[in-house]
Amino acid sequence: MNRIAERFAKLQRESRKGLVVYIGAGDPNLEATRQLALAFDRCGVDVLELGVPFSDPLADGLVNQLAAQRGLEAGTTPAKVLETVAAIRRDSQIPIVLYIYFNLIHRWGLAAFLTAAAQAGVDGLLVLDLPPEEGGKYEELMAVADLCNIYLVAPTTPEDRIAGIVQRGRGFIYYVSREGVTGMQTSVADTIGAMTAEIRRHTTLPIAVGFGISTPEQARTVAANADAVVVGSAIVNQIARLGTSPDLVPQVAKFVGSLCSAIKN
Protein backbone atom coordinates (compact mmCIF):
# COMPACT_ATOMS: atom_id res chain seq x y z
CA MET A 1 0.00 0.00 0.00
CA ASN A 2 1.14 3.55 -0.72
CA ARG A 3 2.63 5.08 2.45
CA ILE A 4 0.23 8.05 2.40
CA ALA A 5 -2.86 5.83 2.15
CA GLU A 6 -1.43 3.54 4.81
CA ARG A 7 -0.75 6.41 7.21
CA PHE A 8 -4.22 7.92 6.88
CA ALA A 9 -5.81 4.47 7.27
CA LYS A 10 -3.84 4.06 10.52
CA LEU A 11 -4.92 7.50 11.76
CA GLN A 12 -8.55 6.64 11.03
CA ARG A 13 -8.31 3.32 12.88
CA GLU A 14 -6.86 5.12 15.89
CA SER A 15 -9.33 8.05 15.67
CA ARG A 16 -6.43 10.49 15.53
CA LYS A 17 -5.67 13.59 13.48
CA GLY A 18 -2.59 13.95 11.30
CA LEU A 19 0.12 16.56 10.89
CA VAL A 20 1.52 17.42 7.47
CA VAL A 21 4.71 19.51 7.54
CA TYR A 22 6.08 21.54 4.63
CA ILE A 23 9.70 22.64 4.20
CA GLY A 24 11.67 23.87 1.20
CA ALA A 25 14.08 21.20 -0.02
CA GLY A 26 17.67 22.41 0.09
CA ASP A 27 16.99 25.17 2.61
CA PRO A 28 19.61 25.85 3.89
CA ASN A 29 21.10 22.72 2.25
CA LEU A 30 20.03 19.18 1.38
CA GLU A 31 21.82 17.57 4.32
CA ALA A 32 19.77 19.77 6.64
CA THR A 33 16.65 18.67 4.73
CA ARG A 34 17.55 15.02 5.35
CA GLN A 35 18.21 15.61 9.05
CA LEU A 36 14.99 17.59 9.49
CA ALA A 37 12.98 14.84 7.79
CA LEU A 38 14.33 12.24 10.22
CA ALA A 39 13.69 14.54 13.19
CA PHE A 40 10.11 15.14 12.03
CA ASP A 41 9.54 11.40 11.78
CA ARG A 42 10.71 11.01 15.38
CA CYS A 43 8.36 13.86 16.42
CA GLY A 44 5.35 12.04 14.97
CA VAL A 45 4.81 13.98 11.72
CA ASP A 46 2.51 11.99 9.44
CA VAL A 47 3.38 13.39 6.01
CA LEU A 48 6.37 15.46 4.88
CA GLU A 49 5.92 17.90 1.99
CA LEU A 50 9.17 18.84 0.30
CA GLY A 51 9.00 21.98 -1.81
CA VAL A 52 11.12 21.53 -4.92
CA PRO A 53 12.80 24.92 -5.52
CA PHE A 54 11.54 26.78 -8.58
CA SER A 55 12.33 30.23 -9.92
CA ASP A 56 8.67 31.32 -10.17
CA PRO A 57 6.75 29.86 -7.21
CA LEU A 58 3.45 31.59 -7.94
CA ALA A 59 1.41 29.88 -5.20
CA ASP A 60 3.84 30.86 -2.46
CA GLY A 61 4.06 33.85 -0.19
CA LEU A 62 7.30 35.65 0.67
CA VAL A 63 8.51 33.18 3.31
CA ASN A 64 8.35 30.20 0.99
CA GLN A 65 9.56 32.21 -2.02
CA LEU A 66 12.71 33.06 -0.11
CA ALA A 67 13.11 29.42 0.91
CA ALA A 68 12.96 28.43 -2.77
CA GLN A 69 15.57 31.08 -3.56
CA ARG A 70 17.87 29.78 -0.81
CA GLY A 71 17.39 26.24 -2.11
CA LEU A 72 18.33 27.28 -5.64
CA GLU A 73 21.36 29.21 -4.37
CA ALA A 74 22.46 26.06 -2.51
CA GLY A 75 22.45 24.18 -5.82
CA THR A 76 19.27 22.19 -5.26
CA THR A 77 17.84 20.54 -8.37
CA PRO A 78 14.98 18.06 -8.83
CA ALA A 79 17.53 15.26 -9.28
CA LYS A 80 19.27 16.18 -6.02
CA VAL A 81 15.92 16.32 -4.21
CA LEU A 82 15.23 12.76 -5.33
CA GLU A 83 18.69 11.72 -4.14
CA THR A 84 17.84 13.26 -0.76
CA VAL A 85 14.52 11.38 -0.63
CA ALA A 86 16.43 8.14 -1.30
CA ALA A 87 18.81 9.04 1.53
CA ILE A 88 15.87 9.66 3.89
CA ARG A 89 14.44 6.28 2.90
CA ARG A 90 17.52 4.52 4.27
CA ASP A 91 16.39 5.53 7.77
CA SER A 92 12.70 6.42 7.59
CA GLN A 93 9.40 5.42 6.04
CA ILE A 94 7.72 8.80 6.64
CA PRO A 95 5.29 9.48 3.75
CA ILE A 96 6.76 12.10 1.40
CA VAL A 97 4.94 14.42 -1.02
CA LEU A 98 6.77 16.64 -3.47
CA TYR A 99 5.27 20.12 -3.69
CA ILE A 100 6.28 21.03 -7.21
CA TYR A 101 5.52 23.14 -10.29
CA PHE A 102 4.74 21.33 -13.53
CA ASN A 103 7.49 22.98 -15.58
CA LEU A 104 10.10 21.05 -13.59
CA ILE A 105 8.35 17.76 -14.37
CA HIS A 106 7.85 18.68 -18.03
CA ARG A 107 11.52 19.61 -18.38
CA TRP A 108 12.55 16.18 -17.06
CA GLY A 109 9.89 14.27 -19.02
CA LEU A 110 6.63 13.26 -17.35
CA ALA A 111 6.93 9.47 -17.45
CA ALA A 112 10.65 9.49 -16.64
CA PHE A 113 10.20 11.87 -13.71
CA LEU A 114 7.38 9.85 -12.14
CA THR A 115 9.39 6.64 -12.47
CA ALA A 116 12.43 8.29 -10.87
CA ALA A 117 10.33 9.77 -8.07
CA ALA A 118 8.73 6.43 -7.24
CA GLN A 119 12.09 4.67 -7.29
CA ALA A 120 13.55 7.27 -4.92
CA GLY A 121 10.74 6.69 -2.42
CA VAL A 122 8.34 9.57 -3.12
CA ASP A 123 4.71 8.74 -2.28
CA GLY A 124 2.77 11.58 -3.89
CA LEU A 125 2.91 14.82 -5.83
CA LEU A 126 1.15 18.11 -5.29
CA VAL A 127 1.56 19.91 -8.62
CA LEU A 128 0.56 23.49 -7.88
CA ASP A 129 -0.13 24.67 -11.41
CA LEU A 130 -1.64 21.57 -13.04
CA PRO A 131 -5.46 21.88 -13.27
CA PRO A 132 -7.15 18.50 -12.71
CA GLU A 133 -9.00 18.95 -16.00
CA GLU A 134 -5.63 18.77 -17.77
CA GLY A 135 -4.27 15.89 -15.71
CA GLY A 136 -5.44 12.88 -17.72
CA LYS A 137 -2.07 11.48 -18.84
CA TYR A 138 -0.46 12.59 -15.59
CA GLU A 139 -3.06 10.70 -13.54
CA GLU A 140 -2.66 7.57 -15.65
CA LEU A 141 1.10 7.54 -15.16
CA MET A 142 0.77 8.38 -11.46
CA ALA A 143 -1.43 5.32 -11.00
CA VAL A 144 1.11 3.13 -12.79
CA ALA A 145 3.85 4.42 -10.46
CA ASP A 146 1.57 4.02 -7.38
CA LEU A 147 1.93 7.70 -6.53
CA CYS A 148 -0.86 9.78 -4.98
CA ASN A 149 -1.96 12.80 -6.99
CA ILE A 150 -2.87 15.42 -4.40
CA TYR A 151 -5.28 18.10 -5.58
CA LEU A 152 -6.19 21.46 -4.07
CA VAL A 153 -9.65 22.80 -3.24
CA ALA A 154 -9.98 26.51 -2.43
CA PRO A 155 -12.64 28.55 -0.58
CA THR A 156 -13.74 29.91 -3.96
CA THR A 157 -14.07 26.51 -5.69
CA PRO A 158 -17.70 25.99 -6.82
CA GLU A 159 -19.42 22.85 -5.53
CA ASP A 160 -19.70 21.20 -8.95
CA ARG A 161 -15.97 21.64 -9.47
CA ILE A 162 -15.22 20.33 -5.97
CA ALA A 163 -17.06 17.15 -6.93
CA GLY A 164 -14.96 16.78 -10.06
CA ILE A 165 -11.64 17.50 -8.33
CA VAL A 166 -12.05 15.10 -5.43
CA GLN A 167 -13.07 12.23 -7.70
CA ARG A 168 -9.68 12.53 -9.41
CA GLY A 169 -7.57 12.88 -6.26
CA ARG A 170 -5.80 10.14 -4.35
CA GLY A 171 -4.24 10.00 -0.90
CA PHE A 172 -5.89 13.10 0.55
CA ILE A 173 -7.52 16.35 -0.51
CA TYR A 174 -5.65 19.53 0.35
CA TYR A 175 -8.10 22.27 1.35
CA VAL A 176 -6.55 25.72 1.04
CA SER A 177 -8.27 27.55 3.88
CA ARG A 178 -7.53 31.06 2.60
CA GLU A 179 -7.53 32.82 -0.74
CA GLY A 180 -4.16 33.90 -2.04
CA VAL A 181 -0.71 32.51 -1.35
CA THR A 182 0.98 30.64 1.48
CA GLY A 183 1.94 32.54 4.61
CA MET A 184 1.52 32.91 8.36
CA GLN A 185 -1.71 34.38 9.74
CA THR A 186 -2.84 35.61 13.15
CA SER A 187 -6.14 33.67 13.04
CA VAL A 188 -7.72 30.74 11.25
CA ALA A 189 -10.42 31.17 8.63
CA ASP A 190 -13.98 30.93 9.95
CA THR A 191 -15.22 28.97 6.91
CA ILE A 192 -13.18 25.79 7.48
CA GLY A 193 -16.00 23.83 9.12
CA ALA A 194 -18.52 24.57 6.38
CA MET A 195 -16.07 23.92 3.55
CA THR A 196 -14.73 20.64 4.91
CA ALA A 197 -18.32 19.47 5.38
CA GLU A 198 -19.06 20.38 1.75
CA ILE A 199 -15.99 18.53 0.49
CA ARG A 200 -16.95 15.44 2.52
CA ARG A 201 -20.28 15.29 0.70
CA HIS A 202 -18.31 14.32 -2.40
CA THR A 203 -15.47 12.11 -1.14
CA THR A 204 -14.29 9.74 1.56
CA LEU A 205 -10.68 10.83 1.10
CA PRO A 206 -9.08 12.50 4.15
CA ILE A 207 -9.03 16.29 4.10
CA ALA A 208 -5.86 18.13 5.07
CA VAL A 209 -6.28 21.85 5.76
CA GLY A 210 -3.44 24.32 5.26
CA PHE A 211 -2.37 27.89 4.39
CA GLY A 212 -1.94 30.31 7.27
CA ILE A 213 -1.76 27.90 10.23
CA SER A 214 1.09 29.17 12.38
CA THR A 215 0.75 28.11 16.03
CA PRO A 216 -0.11 25.00 18.06
CA GLU A 217 -3.33 26.68 19.16
CA GLN A 218 -4.39 27.37 15.58
CA ALA A 219 -3.45 23.81 14.60
CA ARG A 220 -5.64 22.42 17.39
CA THR A 221 -8.56 24.59 16.26
CA VAL A 222 -8.26 23.47 12.63
CA ALA A 223 -7.93 19.80 13.63
CA ALA A 224 -11.47 19.91 15.01
CA ASN A 225 -12.77 19.93 11.41
CA ALA A 226 -9.87 18.45 9.42
CA ASP A 227 -8.40 14.97 9.15
CA ALA A 228 -4.94 16.54 9.05
CA VAL A 229 -3.41 19.97 9.52
CA VAL A 230 -0.74 21.37 7.19
CA VAL A 231 1.88 23.75 8.60
CA GLY A 232 4.54 25.24 6.37
CA SER A 233 5.50 28.91 6.51
CA ALA A 234 5.79 29.01 10.30
CA ILE A 235 8.35 26.18 10.12
CA VAL A 236 10.15 27.61 7.08
CA ASN A 237 10.41 30.94 8.90
CA GLN A 238 12.27 29.23 11.76
CA ILE A 239 14.61 27.53 9.28
CA ALA A 240 15.32 30.95 7.74
CA ARG A 241 16.08 32.41 11.16
CA LEU A 242 18.38 29.58 12.28
CA GLY A 243 20.10 28.96 8.94
CA THR A 244 23.19 26.79 9.34
CA SER A 245 23.21 27.08 13.12
CA PRO A 246 23.91 23.80 14.94
CA ASP A 247 20.62 24.46 16.76
CA LEU A 248 18.62 24.26 13.51
CA VAL A 249 17.36 20.69 13.72
CA PRO A 250 16.67 20.52 17.48
CA GLN A 251 14.97 23.93 17.58
CA VAL A 252 12.76 23.30 14.55
CA ALA A 253 11.96 19.80 15.80
CA LYS A 254 10.94 21.27 19.17
CA PHE A 255 8.43 23.57 17.46
CA VAL A 256 7.11 20.76 15.26
CA GLY A 257 6.78 18.59 18.36
CA SER A 258 4.56 21.25 19.93
CA LEU A 259 2.33 21.12 16.83
CA CYS A 260 2.13 17.32 17.07
CA SER A 261 1.17 17.51 20.73
CA ALA A 262 -1.52 20.13 20.06
CA ILE A 263 -3.13 18.05 17.32
CA LYS A 264 -2.78 14.54 18.71
CA ASN A 265 -3.25 14.95 22.48
Domain ranges of the chain: 3-258
Confidence check: pLDDT of 146 > 70: yes
Q: Average pLDDT in the 9-27 region? A: 98
Q: How many CB atoms lie within 10 A of CB 243?
A: 13
CA pair distance 2, 16, nearest whole angstrom: 19
Q: What's 3-258's CATH class?
A: alpha beta
Alpha-carbon torsion, ordered 62, 166, 93, 130, to 10 deg? -50
Instruction: Report residue 178's pLDDT band, with 50, 70 and 90 as the boundaries.
Output: low
- Note the pLDDT tens digit of each residue in 191-246: 899 999 999 999 999 999 998 899 999 999 999 999 999 999 999 999 999 999 99
CA pair distance 40, 65, nearest whole angstrom: 22
Q: Point out the residues that are catalytic.
A: 49, 60
Question: Residue 6 gets which letter from DSSP?
Answer: H
- Dihedral sign computed on CA atoms, order 51, 52, 56, 59: negative
Confidence check: pLDDT of 33 > 80: yes
